[in-house]
Structure 1
């Protein structure tokens, strides 16, 4: 039977629309009724709304437009058009959808769950190929012109936002909003990377033949072998021997099992891991998604 694969554009817009709904829920049911903030352009929009009482839907759309234009040059026009459509839809959701009003007034619950739902929304939108907050584009643009990293630029912008909030609306509100931002950031990472964040593992061992065999036959992993040399010790620098350097990609849930397997074969094997943000193709084992 022919596999009925979902077209990429349908899946991407599905992610984007779900992200918009989650962001609208976080804003209308948690953050706005309790005068809380987030980071980035959304945080700036919430701050303007709280100080001047402008319509939040219009503010979010207008505040993102300069960054969307910037995104057309920094990323591509397709990304910019899709982001513009997503931001406009978010503004319409905030204006017309009947979200539950003020689910809770508990500040800790608002800061945590407001951030979590906002993070789910932004993360889903990113998986759909667009952005609901233009701060990333600004950081990308600025990072090419100054010596700071993108993360440092985003952190600096958000510090300014929270300082303004502290002076105008009080320190407690700013501190709770920092919790919101932290919860949103961690949730975004989880939504994008998921439980199956991939880990690259490099193994250097004299017992590489047996290790390769067990990785493939027992763990069902694909492997790549680099030809290298080992030795070069301080007391015998001129002595070395050829060795196969084994590289494989696993999920982080399998790291301990792989380490145990290698240790059973060669307790002196040199094993190191590195986080892989994106992995596709090859022999990658994935859990079934329901």
Structure 2
């Protein structure tokens, strides 16, 4: 293994171990003592623990391993190895780490339990593993049905929450929904971070000056599409050729870019959209798993 690959491996397993520790903290300190649930495979494990009182550490392994093995076929053996390592570390944390138990208000347990669990799962994802195997199942099902991945995950979680309502009560099911929402939002934040990329498209008659400011002033690469602007309702037949400017920036730079464009052309048409992944060009390089 080269020094370059070794440094990435160390970084990956640092993420995985930290993620497992945080997930264990969320489960053993908040969700298990508070008799709370989550969605996904973790939710299934918590539900079985509440109904049958089986060991949560064993349930986490037993519930996740089949989906991880499925992931080896869908993605790669490296993904499966990291995921099994992450789940085993999580189980060991649940079994041996003396986490404190918090018996707070239900809303606090649901919110902070979901936050720490989402942070743990998100760090695991940054390390290239799955501490919750539901998305692997969704990916497998996606290739065999006409449903989107989001619809599959939603459907599976609805089943889990309905079972929670039947066995543990409607109130517990509602809190499980809140916990799951907190988990997913925290995962998004941890995985995408503050530097979530935003695509910006600019249509303006002052495109030459805008291009110069973006490249030389903001330090961003740009792509130019040849187009036409005009076609107004009162003068539909009038149009003008123009350069349509596209660039990719972080969301922290959106306001600065808009200010630059508005100073040059207050009538410029600017619209943005989120980009989940971006690499190459002048962007910072990220590890791709």
Distance 1:111 1:133 in 2: 18
Q: Which residue of 2 aligns with 1:33?
A: 33
Q: What residue ranges of structure 2 are gaps of 5+ in the alignment?
A: none
For the 8 Å contact 1:120–1:191, the answer to whether it is kept is: yes
Q: 2:56 matched to 1:56?
A: yes
- 1:100-111 mapped onto 2 (5 Å cutoff): 100=100, 102-111=101-110
User: 1:54 aligns to what SS in structure 2?
Assistant: coil
Task: Tell me by how many angstroms 1:158 deviates.
Answer: 0.9
Question: What do you get for the CA RMSD once the two structures are aligned?
Answer: 2.0
Q: Which residue of 2 aligns with 1:266?
A: 265
Task: Tell me by how many angstroms 1:132 deviates.
Answer: 0.4
Distance 1:170 1:241 in 2: 64
User: 1:129 aligns to what SS in structure 2?
Assistant: coil
Cα shift readout 1:150-206 (whole Å, capped 9, x = no counterpart)? 111111111111111111111111111211111111000000111221101011212
User: 1:7 aligns to what SS in structure 2?
Assistant: helix
Distance 2:108 2:257 in 1: 39
User: 1:258 aligns to what SS in structure 2?
Assistant: helix
Distance 1:71 1:234 in 2: 54
Cα shift readout 1:16-56 (whole Å, capped 9, x = no counterpart)? 11000000000000011111011000000010011111111
Task: Tell me by how many angstroms 1:260 deviates.
Answer: 2.2
Distance 2:73 2:119 in 1: 27
TM-score for the superposition, normalised by structure 2: 0.91
For the 8 Å contact 1:221–1:285, the answer to whether it is kept is: no
Between 276-285 and 61-70, the greater mean CA deviation after superposition: 276-285
Task: Tell me by how many angstroms 1:251 deviates.
Answer: 1.5
Cα shift readout 1:76-103 (whole Å, capped 9, x = no counterpart)? 1111121111111111111111111x22
Distance 2:264 2:233 in 1: 26
Distance 1:178 1:239 in 2: 53
- 1:142-181 mapped onto 2 (5 Å cutoff): 142-181=141-180
Task: Tell me by how many angstroms 1:227 deviates.
Answer: 2.8
TM-score for the superposition, normalised by structure 1: 0.91
- 1:225-244 mapped onto 2 (5 Å cutoff): 225-231=224-230, 240-244=239-243
Q: Which residue of 2 aligns with 1:250?
A: 249
Q: Which residue of 1 aligns with 2:78?
A: 78
Q: What residue ranges of structure 1 are gaps of 5+ in the alignment?
A: none
Task: Tell me by how many angstroms 1:233 deviates.
Answer: 5.5
User: 1:50 aligns to what SS in structure 2?
Assistant: helix
Q: Which residue of 2 aligns with 1:210?
A: 209
Distance 1:231 1:113 in 2: 52
